[in-house]
Amino acid sequence: MADIKDWKSLSEPTKEWNELLESIGGQAPDLGMFPDIASMRTWITEAKKAMTANFEPVKGIKEEKDHEITVGDGSKITVRTYVPEKSGGPLAVIYHGGGFCIGGLENEELLCRNLCGRLGCSVVNVDYRLAPEHVFPAAAHDCWDATVWAADNATTLLSSDPSKGFIVGGTSAGGNLAAVVSHLAQDSPLAYPVTGAHLMIPALCNNKSYPDKYKSDLISYEQNKNAAILSEKAMDLFIDNYVPDRSKRSDPLLSVLNWKSGHNGQPTTYFQICGADPLRDEALVYERLLREDLGVKTKVDVYPGLPHGFWSVFPQMKSSGKFVEDSVKGAEWLLANGRA
């Protein structure tokens, strides 16, 4: 990533995106158009099912099974596990996106199946509790508790060997939760060390809580506030429901860039970043911090001119197929390059 000098130029739309817009009448969808969380939930569930159906079924999976587990406050959540035909492979725990308010197990069905069937990972897909019914930091606590459960049950229930690799990953809000979990694991070690973090279009810091030293670089929130799919209006709807108490928005369990113990000890990290995304620069700043300041191995795939979550909404695009394939290759890179 050191060769990308002009982050701002990454917002310029691609030919494929312009052609797509023209084909749908020039108006791209925006989650900010929905009046409330309830109506948005129905839409995202159907969109994710359609996206998964657009790709070929994945072979090599022995079992998919739902489990009800107990989290720290005594509540129950569901995790869906995927076990490959050949046992003894790596472990991956995946957290879905949706602004901490929408989405579920369907969101990451395709990724989980690819990691299991193609890379031989045992995978845990986490259905954490959503806001506004469960506000911050419920999602963060649920994801940590589910990851502890996965590590504790890796060799028995999941037929996995995390010494061959232990990845945490997620998309958007799920990318935030993956970064939170990898930092919690830095401070409170799990049964097995996390060897890789897979951060797809991650939210890493509330825009009102940017560390002073990075503020001049974090311009994408303002530059792309009217972007397709994830606009400023959509982000406000999500954050107001997930963290209604504004005083908590700088908390490291949301704003990971402010982690109190720093970032030393973070695992090998793979980023997927959209150029026309308000969250773009958070990821670019964090990648640079890990690579230049701490010497962490990183890999980055950038999708210039494309908005947040484009592959979910428009799976027919060639760029969408590339994003999905990159997700698998990126995870494969993490397994090959993760810390011991």
For residue 81, pLDDT beyond 60: yes
Distance from chain centroid for Cα 17: 23
pTM: 0.96
**11, 172, 220, 231: which is the annotated catalytic residue?**
172
For residue 56, pLDDT beyond 90: no
Chain mean pLDDT for the chain: 95
Q: Which residue segments constitute the domains of the chain, with CATH numbers given?
A: 8-336 (3.40.50.1820)
For residue 237, pLDDT beyond 60: yes
Residue 186, CB-side half-sphere exposure with 13 Å CA sphere: 20
**pLDDT tens-digit series, residues 9-50:** 999 999 999 999 999 998 888 999 998 898 899 888 888 888
pLDDT band at residue 1 using 50, 70 and 90 as cut-offs: very low
What pLDDT, on the 0 to 100 scale, is given for residue 135? 98
For residue 309, pLDDT beyond 80: yes
For residue 3, pLDDT beyond 60: no
**pLDDT tens-digit series, residues 132-175:** 999 999 999 999 999 999 999 999 999 999 999 999 999 999 99
For residue 311, pLDDT beyond 50: yes
**134, 160, 308, 319: which is the annotated catalytic residue?**
308
Please confirm, yes or no, whether 277 is among the known catalytic residues. yes
What pLDDT, on the 0 to 100 scale, is given for residue 340? 47
**127, 145, 251, 277: which is the annotated catalytic residue?**
277
